Chains A and B, each alone.
Chain A
Amino acid sequence: MKKVLVIQEDIIIKKILERLVGLNNYTARAIKSLDELNIEDQQTNFDLIITDILFEGIAPLEFVSQVQEIIPHKKLLIVTNMGQDKIKKEIYALQGISGFFSVPIDLDEIEKIIQAYR
């Protein structure tokens, strides 16, 4: 079964995404921040990571780079409250970003992407 990592500080979004991913036959692991990451997570090659970019003490771009560096993965999807065009452009300028969704989000669109990866 394919594995997905959800990193969201907002408990409600985290829970919804975890559920959405789980119902689409993925194994979901959901965490609030990188602090909750364990050694096993860092050794797992996730098929998809769905993450926020707005965390305390770290700039959005730096956070994305950190995730890309420390967690093995195939695809990276951003779901965030921070939807400014400037940030979006900067994020897309990075390598390996599969999608960017800013709040308010249409979960159906995210589900389509998740199903396409299956």
Chain B
Amino acid sequence: MSEEKFIFLIEVVAVLIVAVWISIASSLIYRKRRLKVLKYIEETFADIVSRYLYNDIQNPLTLIEIQRTLRKAGIKSHKKANIQYLINLMIRTQRTILGTNHKKLKMLYAQIPPYRVSISKITGFGWYRKAQGIREIYEMDQSQYRHNILRFRNHRNVYVRREAQIALVVFLGWESLRFLPYLKREISLWQQIKIVEKLYDLYPTPELPWLKKAYKTDKLFGKQLLMRGIRKYKLQAEVNFIIENLNHPNYEVRETAIYCIQTFVISDEWMVEVKEIFSILPDATQQMQLLKYIFNNSEIDLDFYLKHLYANNDDLKLKIAEILWNNGYKEKVQEFYYQQYAKINPYVE
């Protein structure tokens, strides 16, 4: 390599190193300034919220003053990152506070919606922005937009419709169950749990008329959701809905019913029905699960156990034999054993 070429190479490397240094320095300066701006926004918002929640009669905080202060802190329509930061702060604060102050915050947020950013997200393109907009609206409890969100309950994108369904629960509580028959797409197990948990957190008192109306739904996921609700709220009086679904033709519905019934101790009359359903259950695994429930929640019913001891399912027979053996009916198990032995042994005359 010639000397000239070598010097040129060194110059190129030096320029590259300088460029990298400049970009690192500018990035550091930008980050420092940005952090300062964000801190200022947070402090301004904290001051506004504290003054709004505990307003001083001598020096009241007005809406115009709030808007001016926010604008001064950099909350302007063209500064989208600042607005998004403010929205995150608003959501964080709303989640932190309960009671009358929560309602006050809701009022404040309704008066200072930052340039309708969240609502404009749900009318824009892209599933991510839509889902984010819906989440922001329900997290800030902005129920005035619930009609805009309602139409997304059957959206083709799973994340958008999930957020829309949660929003309906947040805004309408138990009344949101009336939309169950109109849902066209499956609600996943995860979403069912999320809905029930959200409902329980925000509306801990059950409103049975809405629940009873929802029983009419023919949607399988709807039935599962309702049973999970009954379980979560421990609605003993509604346990018949779960029992009715123990012998549903659909496997998943039966599975949910068996899972949910385990929370409840039921009356002898209902137990008779459960035992009848047990006899006609088409799936052996589910029969085993239900048998466990029956055993744990009722007295030993010898006729019931003997009937199934002499039935065809070997796993069930084994389990029932174990139950009888451990609960004072050894002779019945021995009787069954020898009877069986006599039948299959070709050498016995």
Q: Write the nearest CB–CB distance from A19 to chain B, whole angstroms.
A: 4
Contact A108 B56 (CB under 8 A): no
Contact A104 B96 (CB under 8 A): yes
B97 at the interface (CB under 8 A from A): yes
- CB closest chain-A residue, reference B96: A103
Interface contacts (Cβ under 8 Å), in number, total: 58
Within 8 A of A (CB), among B90-104: 92-93, 95-102
Contact B97 A19 (CB under 8 A): no
Interface size class of A (residues with CB under 8 A): 10 to 19
Give the residue among A12, A19, A20 with the most B Cβ atoms within 10 A: A12
A38 to B53, CA, bound (A): 30
A13 to B101, CA, bound (A): 13
A15 to B102, CA, bound (A): 16
Using a Cβ–Cβ cut-off of 8 Å, how many residues does chain B contribute to the interface with A? Answer: 22
What string of 1s and 0s marks CB contacts (under 8 Å) between B49-75 and chain A?
111011010000000000000000000
Q: Which residues of B lie under 8 Å from residue A107 when comparing CB positions? A: 53, 97, 99, 101
Q: Write the nearest CB–CB distance from B100 to chain A, whole angstroms.
A: 6
A11 at the interface (CB under 8 A from B): yes
A115 to B45, CA, bound (A): 26
B89 at the interface (CB under 8 A from A): yes
Q: Measuring CB to CB, which residues of chain A are less than 8 angstroms from any residue of chain B?
A: 10-16, 18-20, 23, 103-109
Provide a sorted-by-A list of 22 A–B residue pairs whose CB atoms are within 8 angstroms: A10-B96, A11-B43, A12-B42, A12-B46, A12-B50, A12-B96, A15-B49, A16-B49, A16-B53, A19-B50, A19-B51, A20-B50, A23-B56, A103-B95, A104-B97, A104-B98, A104-B102, A105-B96, A106-B97, A106-B98, A106-B101, A107-B101
Q: Measuring CB to CB, which residues of chain B are less than 8 angstroms from any residue of chain A?
A: 42-43, 45-47, 49-51, 53-54, 56, 89, 92-93, 95-102
